[in-house]
Structure 1
Amino acid sequence: MSAYGIMEDDVSRLPAARQRMNDQGGTMEEKRRSRDEECYSELHRAAAKGDVPLARTLIRMGMEDGVNTPGRGGETPLHCAAWGGSSEMIKLLAEHGADVNAMDDDRATPALVATKANAAGALKTLIACGADVRWSDACGVTPLHAASWNGSDMCVRQLIEAGANVAIADHSGRTPLHDAAKSGNEDAVVALLNAGADLNAVDEVGATPLCYAVASGSAVIALLLIECGADKRLGRWCGWTAEEIARKTGQARLADAIRDGIESITKGAGSTAEQPAREAKAQHEGTTLLHRAALSGNVKSVEILLSRGMKVDQPDAEGCTALHRTTLTGSAEMMEALIRSGADVNARNSRGYTPLHAAVRSQDVRKLSLLIDSGADVNLKSGSGYTPLHEAVNVGDAAIVRALVAAGAEVNTCNTIGATPLHEAASLGDRAIVSELLHAGADARIQDSQGRSPDKLVPLRERALAEVIRRTFDSSRGR
C-alpha cells in the first residue's frame, strides 16, 4: 500500500476503468463538458457570442419562454449578453420578455455583469431597458462599486446619471469612492466627488479613500481628496495614517503635502536656502505631480495643482515640461488647458527639444497646429541643430512636412553636421518628402560638413531619386 492508502492493484486497474468509461460514451473531459453544456441552452450560448440572427431564429422556433431560463449558476441569457457586451442582443432579449433585473446565484444582475465586463454600451442599453442601478449582490457590491474599481469612468458617469447611490457601502464597508481611489481612476474620483460622495467614509478596516489613494501610489487623487476636504487625520490602513503610509512607501513629498498642505510641494516649504535643494530633489525624482496629472487627462486635477502654486513649466528629470510630455503622448485638450494656464510653447528640454518637436514625433497635425497657432517657433533648433522640419523628415510624415512649410519652416536650415532637411530625406530614400521639399524651394546644391550634396546620400536602390535631385541641382546651377 502507498502512503496515501492506494493499493498497487488499484493503480494497475485504472487504465481498464478509463476504457470502460470511454466505451460507455466519451472521455471524462467530454462527459464533464457535456454536463456543463446541458446547464445552458442554445439561447444562452447565442447570447454570450452576440449571435443575434441565431438568437432571433431560436426565439421564433419557440424558445421565447427560455429568455429567463437560468443556467448552471443562475445566469439567464441576458446575463450572458451583458458579459458579451452586445447591445443589440440585449435589446432583442428585452423585447421578448427578458427580466433586466434577473439575479444569478450570487444575486448579480445583468447590469452588474455588464459593469464588471467594462461594457459601457451594454450597460447603457440595460439602463434604457429599466435596469435597477441601485441593486447590490450577495457581497453588497453595486454596479457603481464595480465600475469604480474596474477603472471604467464612462460606466461610473452613466450609473450616476441613472441615479446610482454614491454613498452606499458594500459588506466590507467600502464605498465606490474607496474603490475608485484604490484603482487610481482619477476621472471616476472626480465624477463621484461631483456627485457628493463622502470623502471621509471609513471601511471595516478603518481606511478612508485617502488611505487607499496613498497606498496605491495615486498621488494626484490623494491631493485632490485633500483639496476637497478629506480629513488627513482620519482613517487607518494596516494601522497607519495616510501620512505614515506615504512615508513607508517612499512617497516623502506626498507625506509632506499631507502633513503641511499642498503648498509644501508646490511653493516650497522652509527657508529660501532650502528651496534649490528641494527643486533639485524634485527633478531627480523624475516626473512631477503636474506631469502625472496632465498625462492622466484630468483637467480638473491640473487646475487644482496650478491654483495651489505649482509652476506650469516645472521640468522633470529630462528637462521636459508637462506640455512636452502631453504633446508627445497626451491629449490635445490637455495641451489647450496647459497653454491657457501659461505654458511656454517654446520651452526647451535638456536636449534642446521644444513641444513642437514632440508634436512632430506624435504625428498629430491637430497638436502641431495648436502649438503653431499659440506662437510656437517653427524654426527653433534642438541641441544637435534639428528643427521640427528635420524631425518631420526623420519620422517620414509628408503631411507634417507640408504643415510646417506652410507655417514658415525654413527648408534650407542646417543642423550641427551641416545637413538640411533635404539631406535627411535623401539619405532615407523618401521620394514623397524629397518631392515636397524640392517643391518648397529646397536647395539641392548645399553640402554638409563632409562636402556631400543631398544626391550623394541617396541609397543605391534609389538611383532614380538621386537623378531627380541631381537634375534640380543642375537646373539651379544653370540659373
Structure 2
Amino acid sequence: MDRLVSAEAAEVELNFLPSKRCTATFKIRSLIHTMPVAVQLTTTRPCFYAFSPAAVALIPPLSSIVFDVVLPPTAAPPITSPPDAILVRSALVPTLHHADTGTLLRFFSRPTLPVFRDATIPILLVGHRILTHLLLSPNPHSHLSRVIPSCTPDELSTTLPLAAAAGDAITVAALIAAGANPNARSAGRKSSLSLAVSAGSLDSVKALIDAGATDRPFYEAAAGNRTDLIFIMLGKFAPGNISWADAVDNEGRTPVHAAAENGCVEALRLCFTIGGGDADLADARGWTPLHYAAAAGHLKAAELIIGYSGFDPRGALTREGQGKRRTPLELAVEKGNDHLYELLRPYGRVIRAARGVGGELGPAVKEAGGVEERDQNGWTALHVAAFKGRMDAVKQLVEGGADLEAVDNDGYTPLKCAVEAGNAEVALWLISCGARGGVKGFLMATGGGGGVPPSMKESCTALVSAALC
C-alpha cells in the first residue's frame, strides 16, 4: 500500500482579492475499508496559508472530508514559482474513532509514527490581480489560459491596455476572445489600439481592429514611421479618400508634426501624398512641422516639408510669448543643428532654385515674376548662382534680365562672388556679358585664402585680371 487517502482535485484554484480573505475548497477521501485515517495538511510556505476547519482531521473508513485552504487578507498575492502546494500526510489510527485537534496534533508529533505522503496539490492563484502580475512577468503566458476565465469582462478590459502597451499579441488576442472590450482605455485615457501602435505590434493592431476597435491613432504610427500600420488602419478606405493626416490632438498637433519631429521621412511623405496633410499647419504653440524638424535636426524631413509647403515656411514664427517668437532657423541654431542653416535661410524660391535646392529655376522665376529676389544679406539669385559656380543657372538668370551690377549689403556684385569662390568660367562669362562692377579694386586687395583653395582663387584672379585689361 502506498497511499491511505486521495485528493479529489489535481489543483486548487484560489481567486485572489487584495486585502480580503480568500478561500478555496478541496476534498480528501479515505481509501481504507477497515479503520480511520488521520490526515495532516500543510503548505510549502505555511506562513501564508491556513485550513478550515483545521489542519488535522480523522476520516472514517471510505469516507471523505471537505477542507478550505485560506489565504488571510493581504495586499500582495504570495506568488512564487513553482506555485505553492498543499501537502497531505496520513497515518493509520486503529485505536482512535474520535479525536479532537489537540489529540491529532500530538499523534502526528510522535517520532516513530509511520506517515504516508499521499498527495501534493498545487495552489493556483487566479483573478484579475494575478492576471496583471502575469503580464508584468518574464513569462506572461505560463498560466494565462487558466487565469483569464477567472476574470470578468470588465476586468479583462482594464487589463487589455497593459497587454497592448507591451506589444503582447498573444495576450491581446486571448483577452479579446474572452470578452475584453477592444476600445478599452488605460488609466491615462490612451486607447488599446494607440498603445499597440506605439509598441509597434503589427499582430496586436490587427487583432484589435478585427475585434472592432474604432479609433485610428495615425499620430502614433507616423511618430514611429510605421507606414505598414497606417495602411492597416486605413483598411477598406482607398488612399486619398480620407484626410487622416490633418487630424489634430488636444495640442493641435497632427501626424505631420509627429513625423517631422521624429524625422520619419516615409511616414511624412505618406501624410502629404495620400493623407491630406498640411505642411504649414501650426499647433497650439505656433509650431509648424518645419519648426519640429528644425529643432530636432532632421534635414531630410525639413527638405520634404519645404517642398510640400504652400508658401515659404522658413519665416513662420512660434506663438510662445514675446521674446520666444522664433523661426525654424532660430530653433535649429539654438539646438546646435548647424547643418540645417543653409536650407533654412530665409531667401525666396528663385534664390533656392539658384542654389539647386528648390526645384527648377524656370518655373520659380515665372512664379516669382522676375529674377530680382534678395535674401537677408542682399544677395540676388545671380549672386548665389555665381558663388556656387552654377553656369547654367547664371546664363538663365542673365538672359532673364538679372542685374549684372547688383550689389549686396557688403558691396559685392555677382562677379565679385564668382571670383571670391574661384569660379573662373562663371566670372569670365559675366565679364563677356559686360560685368565690371568694382572688381578691379577687389582683385588688388585679395589674393589666396578664404574658404577656397588658394590655387583655385589665384588662378581665377589671374584670368579675370587679364580679361579686364
Tell me which interval the TM-score lies in, with the shorter structure as reference length.
0.3 to 0.5
Structure whose CA Rg is larger: 2
TM-score if structure 1 supplies the norm length?
A: 0.42
Q: Which one has a larger percent helix, Structure 1 or Structure 2?
A: 1
